Structure 1
Amino acid sequence: MAERTIIIDHGSCYMKTGLSGHQEPAVLTPSIVSYLPCKENPGPSHARRRLIVGINRKHSDNFSYPVQRSRIVNWEGVELLWSFVIQKHRKGQEFEDCPVLITESPFWEPGDRKKILEIMFEFLDVPSLLLADQLEMSLYASGLLSGMVVDCGFGLTRVQPFQLGRPLRSSGKVLELGGQDITTYLRQSLFKDKSDGYSLAQMETVNKIEMSQCYVPQDLADSLDLCHSLPLSIDKGNACWLPDGTKVELTPMQHVAPELLFSPQVFDLPMPGISQAILDSVTSCEDSSRQMLMAHVIPCGGNTMYHGFTRRLFKELAASPFSSNGTTLWVNPKRHFSVWLGASLVTHLSTYKPQWTTREGYMEGTRL
């Protein structure tokens, strides 16, 4: 392939994009679009309204996520986002005709792939395209060919065992559980708001709290007992300011909101936690591969960056009967970019060359 490839890892919350060969994506773009009123249509209907990337602060109630739980729900928004990042990376004659790699969600249907080819070749005029499985890319980023990839992102948590580069599909697990649910819990508990929508100010407040004050406890009961036994003044970072200027003290449960990933039942979410999903996946594999998988657990995704996440995951997996020979977590400090990093490696592998689709091949196929 070309010396440089534009890589687009389109998650439910962010797009990670950049040129292959680098150590991390160059641009993080919120996976958000907004419809703005225009002269022809000043009302709430989307018809004939102007679509922009990101959030317009003057009309901050009109933003949405075109990808939700890894499913594309707004093709117009996705096309705009892809066009935006491709043009950004095409600046300069050197990268004018770069091929494009898009990381692929497990929920994409054949019709989705057909639509992606149409957008890329007919509207964005890319020379060639590769759709690459996201979990497979994370495996390659780890430097391993066999192991258990555990991806915990904004919309989904996915567990997929691999053996010699081959996914054991029947043993994969998908939980509709991720950072989106942590955000929803914090927003609803802070603002006492049970609706699906939220304002820009609320979103910014919750994001700040998540990044600075939330963590995964090693033992939920012990952490709550400790928090309750301390006077609030002990923790000077316990307070936060709401958009209306109100000062509130965060509760112990708000601090440990990422516990939701391990104990969703505590938050009234009827599904197994991440550790149980891994053990269920291992149980469904052949006996001969279970010890190998437990010795090669590869956490990745933005939620794995929470303080305490990897220690808690190791603690729970190490207590399982499959860990008699030891559990090992392969922890990459850039694991929130694992999918993108693996895709960057794949663009230089000759073994993937037959999987690329060229514009000429696509156009020839549409004429048949």
Structure 2
Amino acid sequence: MTESTIVIDHGSGFLKAGMSGWNKPHTVCPNIVNYRPCRENPGPSSARRVLGLGIDIYHPDTFSYPIQRGRILNWEAMERMWSFVLETHKKEHEVSPVLFTEPPLRKPGDRRKTLEIMFESLCVPALLLADELEMSLYATGLLTGVVVDSGYGLTRVQPYYLGRPLQNGLKVLEFAGQDVSAYLKKSLFQDDSSASQMFRLHTADTVQMEQCYVPQDLGQEIDILQSLPAGSAVENTYHLPDGTTMDLTPMQRLAPEMFFSPEVFDLQVPSLSQALVDSIKTCEASLQPLILSHVIACGGNTMYPGFCTRLFEELAIKHLSSAKTMVRLGSTRKFSVWVGASVVAHLSTYKSQWITKLEYDEG
């Protein structure tokens, strides 16, 4: 809309925000809030305690995620976080228009509540609600392809043709990064009940980022990891932040295999590659080769080493060997929703979809 549009992508795990026109968000913070005891309510009950952003180091076990599996559960927390973003990016004394991304399976009531908070409480002059997966598509500069987005709370697949979503192809899997984290927390600390929730979370997240990867062959990779000698260049010992060490099992390092073999982890959901194949097969037969030639991988989980190679192999070799498969990657693919929205904020083709405060008041 203007060069001063604030773009907010609020996922289950992280909030990404910044001014449109940039190639990455200015603000990236965990989507976590805490309720601290206050003078009026010093006890453990939740009634009217002080709401804070992030984890309070003095009350580390009081934090929660206001969005679960893409669904907003705590609107008070949402308003506080959005207010923080607007205040951070305010230019002089004016609030800029806001482009806000929302999940494909949004409920009408959620949209109404978002409008109410933005226009009545935060007084934004104009608002555009944009589909997350569509924004990821536009971040690549493509109009046709299939978006595979795997974030903290959800893994989703959506095919597009000439910029339009092929609705029957939408697949939503309720397993994602938080399930990898939960598996690691449970397996790493099963014999240690003394570790704080914050320490467990930090350790699991660090192991995810620094030690985990997707194998090309699970059985073969387990054999390799089990045979590693002590002191080898790649070893199974992880050094914790406090200086102690922890021996990682092969399955802990290979936890992202969950996306390709969920049954190994007792998850009753289809694999990501199977969901992708099922999605493409819902499309018209003549479109399938074209859509499969543009597989757009995005979201934080696609950053695991080996993830996209494994996805390509499962599609090209095991499922759709007759089609030409191209898995497209980008260096900022964990921010692809935000990047696409940053571009869309300046497109005149979306002009009619903006809602102004005047239109909201009159409606």
Q: TM-score of the superposition, structure 1-length normalised?
A: 0.95
Work out the CA distance in 2 between the residues paired with 1:282 and 1:70: 23
Cα distance, 1:322 vs structure 2: 3.2
Cα distance, 1:246 vs structure 2: 5.1
Structure-2 change in CA distance of 1:247 and 1:321 (3 Å): closer
Structure 2 counterpart of 1:70: 70
Cα distance, 1:142 vs structure 2: 0.9
Structure 1 counterpart of 2:14: 14
Q: Which amino acid aligns with 2:68?
A: Q
Report if the CA contact (8 A) 1:149-1:300 is conserved.
Answer: yes
Write the deviation string for residues 175-221 of structure 1: whole angstroms up to 9, x where unpaired. Answer: 001100000000000011799x9711111111111111111111101
Structure-2 change in CA distance of 1:198 and 1:141 (3 Å): farther
- After TM superposition, the structure 1 = structure 2 runs for residues 53-132 of structure 1, keeping only pairs within 5 Å, are 53-93=53-93, 96-132=94-130
Report if the CA contact (8 A) 1:291-1:323 is conserved.
Answer: no
Structure 2 counterpart of 1:302: 300
Write the deviation string for residues 3-57 of structure 1: whole angstroms up to 9, x where unpaired. Answer: 2210000011100100001010011011011001011111222212110111110
Identity %: 57
SS at match of 1:319: helix
SS at match of 1:234: coil
Work out the CA distance in 1 between the residues paired with 2:275 and 2:46: 40
Which among 283, 291, 298 is matched to residue 285 of structure 1? 283
SS at match of 1:29: strand
Q: Which amino acid aligns with 1:48?
A: R
Most deviating of 176-185 and 240-249: 240-249
Write the deviation string for residues 137-180 of structure 1: whole angstroms up to 9, x where unpaired. Answer: 00000111000100011111000000110101111101001100
Most deviating of 323-332 and 118-127: 323-332
Report if the CA contact (8 A) 1:202-1:243 is conserved.
Answer: no
Work out the CA distance in 2 between the residues paired with 1:236 and 1:309: 19
Work out the CA distance in 2 between the residues paired with 1:230 and 1:241: 17
Which among 353, 358, 361 is matched to residue 360 of structure 1? 358
Structure 2 counterpart of 1:251: 249
SS at match of 2:60: helix
Structure 2 counterpart of 1:342: 340
Cα distance, 1:257 vs structure 2: 0.7
Work out the CA distance in 1 between the residues paired with 2:208 and 2:225: 18
Could you list the runs of 5+ residues in structure 2 that have no partner in the other structure? none
Report if the CA contact (8 A) 1:188-1:194 is conserved.
Answer: no
Which among 211, 214, 217 is matched to residue 213 of structure 1? 211
Q: Which amino acid aligns with 2:61?
A: D
Cα distance, 1:325 vs structure 2: 3.7
Report if the CA contact (8 A) 1:148-1:160 is conserved.
Answer: yes
Most deviating of 209-218 and 237-246: 237-246
Work out the CA distance in 2 between the residues paired with 1:97 and 1:248: 49
Work out the CA distance in 2 between the residues paired with 1:321 and 1:312: 13
Structure 1 counterpart of 2:187: 189
Report if the CA contact (8 A) 1:187-1:193 is conserved.
Answer: no
1:29 aligns with 2:29: yes
Structure that is richer in helix per residue:
1
Alpha-carbon RMSD:
1.8
Structure-2 change in CA distance of 1:290 and 1:165 (3 Å): same
SS at match of 2:309: helix
Structure 2 counterpart of 1:50: 50
Which among 311, 315, 337 is matched to residue 309 of structure 2? 311
Write the deviation string for residues 247-275 of structure 1: whole angstroms up to 9, x where unpaired. Answer: 32101111111111111110010111111
Work out the CA distance in 1 between the residues paired with 2:6 and 2:137: 20
Work out the CA distance in 1 between the residues paired with 2:179 and 2:14: 16
Cα distance, 1:328 vs structure 2: 0.5
Q: Which amino acid aligns with 2:263?
A: Q
Work out the CA distance in 2 between the residues paired with 1:245 and 1:21: 43
Structure 2 counterpart of 1:332: 330
Cα distance, 1:238 vs structure 2: 2.5
Q: Which amino acid aligns with 2:12?
A: S
Report if the CA contact (8 A) 2:237-2:245 is conserved.
Answer: yes
Report if the CA contact (8 A) 1:201-1:243 is conserved.
Answer: no
SS at match of 2:199: helix
Q: Which amino acid aligns with 1:12?
A: S
Structure-2 change in CA distance of 1:311 and 1:236 (3 Å): closer
Cα distance, 1:364 vs structure 2: 1.1
Q: Which amino acid aligns with 2:66?
A: P
Work out the CA distance in 2 between the residues paired with 1:243 and 1:53: 24
Could you list the runs of 5+ residues in structure 1 that have no partner in the other structure? none
